Amino acid sequence: MSETLVRPRSRAARRPSRKATIERSGAECDVVIAGVATAVPGHVIAQDDFLERTLELAPEFSSFRQLFGNTGISKRHAAVPLDWIMHQHGWVERNEVFRKAAPRLVEEVARDLMAKTGIDAEDIDAVVVACTTGIAVPSLDAGLANRLGLRPDVERLPLFGLGCAGGVTGLARAANLARARPGRNVLFVTVELCTINGRVRDRRMANFISAALFGDGAAGVMLRSLSPGESPGNSPLLGETGEYMWPESEAVMGWSIEEDGFGVVISPEIPRFARDRLGPALDEFLARAGLRLSDLDGIVLHPGGRKVLEAAEIALDLPRIAFRHSWEVLGDFGNMSSPTVLFVLAQTMRERPSGRHLMAAFGPGFTVSLALVDFG
């Protein structure tokens, strides 16, 4: 096993080949990750500056100052300047920012992926876009298809409401479209503008906590399904995907609809959920693929926050180094909701990893979305 999980196993217990694993699990692991790209908006907000401005508006939270310092976040990126965030806005103002900034980020990611993979617009067969922090009709994928010059018969799938889990769930939906026919190219992009949804009149603790965590960003993956007999080469294989939704947990995370925008719903029970319930859900998912946790060589975990990462360390009985890329992304970007796990994937891929890695992200439902990526 690699240094990531630092859980040695004997040579006799080494994991089987990628082909053997595919056949044993029954998964159609014929989809490769051709490329990964990320983008952030131009405004950079230091965590200390955000804290001071927040406490100026809501001095009643001064005794909770340490919450900001303990998030593990040093800075975040935003589509709007800090002054904008610190004023009250309604649906029209928020949506105006969304309809300008989100398409730009989506296009930036898409063009970066096309350049990295050499896949031209006319060769893209389907496009999937996930977003939960803004609304546009026609949806973002329609505008993107027109700006990129995609074919008129391109398949489109907009996804809303997946929250932080959207990076993994959206990737899984895109993979299903890729598997529909050999040689298909599927573009998946996710974008979130969390900061435009801040509501300064909301003095609930949940809103204060969310203000300490969330930033803006976009990320994407270009998927390609292999033709019969085609080798993946050096491209990672996207394998088994799945989800686990805990019953009667809808109130754990989500949006409420308020007069002036989305109201954040974020339960203090989330770290407990991760600590107590992630392990059994993960064991069930891995068992379907004929695997155990000890068969993994790395973890690509959505960094929902410091407490969630620490809870995952306990739940999976893994050292902090196993989640180092998640901690790095959290520190530099905060929690950007759905794109964040793809930032962690991009960070992981820069180190040219080997072996089988698990992608995981929590989201509204309350759910955890899972995927296996084999780097060979």
pLDDT tens digits for range 37-57 = 999 999 999 998 988 888 888
State the Rg of the chain over Cα.
20
- Is the dihedral angle over the CA atoms 142, 80, 166, 222 positive or is it negative? positive
Q: Where are the alpha helices (DSSP H) in the chain?
A: 18-25, 47-57, 65-69, 82-85, 91-117, 140-148, 166-178, 205-213, 270-288, 306-316, 324-333, 340-350
- The angle subtended at Cα 296 by Cα 282 and Cα 70, nearest 5°, is 70
Per the residue annotation, which of 29, 131, 164, 194 is the catalytic one? Answer: 164
pLDDT digits (tens, 9 = 90+) for 313-333: 998 889 999 999 999 999 999
Active-site annotation holds for 164? yes
Of 7-11, 40-44, 95-99, 198-202, least confident by mean pLDDT is: 7-11
Q: Cα–Cα distance between 84 and 77 in angstroms, integer?
A: 13
Compute CA distances 134 → 92, 122, 131, whole Å: 11, 28, 7
pLDDT digits (tens, 9 = 90+) for 68-109: 778 889 999 999 999 999 999 999 999 999 999 999 999 999
Q: What pTM value is reported for the model?
A: 0.90
